[in-house]
Structure 1
């Protein structure tokens, strides 16, 4: 029994030392700490940043309607993706995982989800609902659902209207969703 207790104490001490070393690594090189912390996320980042199909063209917006439901809209449409920001976004979006229409990865969106969101783009909101939408337009990082009126503008504009109408999201919550879902690339 004493041997077991001794082994457990050694494991705790070793685990504590590993934690300190990990934290020091994060403080000195946060870019490396993120990829070392989550190899799967780093692999997804690499794949999405190098193999995207997203563009800002009007034709791309129209093509979403004919994409197979299982196809995906991947990568950044404007600027190169940044690992640190990508990790922040994916981790931040986990708080909305109970609402399936909110994509959990802003750079990997199922075509079926994009179509579902676009369907709400022309939804007429009530007065208070419109105020929430207008607040999001004025206060999000991109001053709207995206930096330009591309497919993301319609997808995330429709998503916002759905969330406001069906889930009673406030303008502040829409700002959070839009900022976390920004797929233009780059940092903040």
Structure 2
């Protein structure tokens, strides 16, 4: 009679064998490649962090990439320091925003900054040599209607090169953008130290 440990191991091996066979069959049909439109949204922390993580991953693969910041352009962030200091040869960095709208308190100025950011983004995206473009906090500019959503979607649909990935971050992504995107992740807020009186800290928030 096999011991309980031997029986458990045998059942585990059989289960993993079935799972692997099913995964292999599934992966046989996943051979296509395309440049993705990726959206990171939601109330939880991690939207920009995830976008920058993808930029670093692209750099590690030797893929030319770019960042266009729409809102937090005035911030001195760790990501900005890292990319401009160590990876400027592979990653363009354009800080186009001047801060959140409650800081500028000037809608016309905010719109002008967002439009300038979008013009720069279009210029970069049109270049097929740039493989990934992060549009950081563009969802906020779209939410406040600093940019025309229909124009943004039309550009991504009609002018984005086939193998270019575009990542759009920020809360409250428009439903039309979510529907259009290939990959959408919503960050859920469970707990945040800000609510306990803890300010944004270097290395965690920026």
Q: TM-score, normalised by structure 2?
A: 0.26
State the structure with bigger RCO (CA 8 A, min sep 6), 1 or 2.
2
* TM-score of the two chains, using structure 1 as the length reference: 0.28
Q: Which has the higher helix share?
A: 1
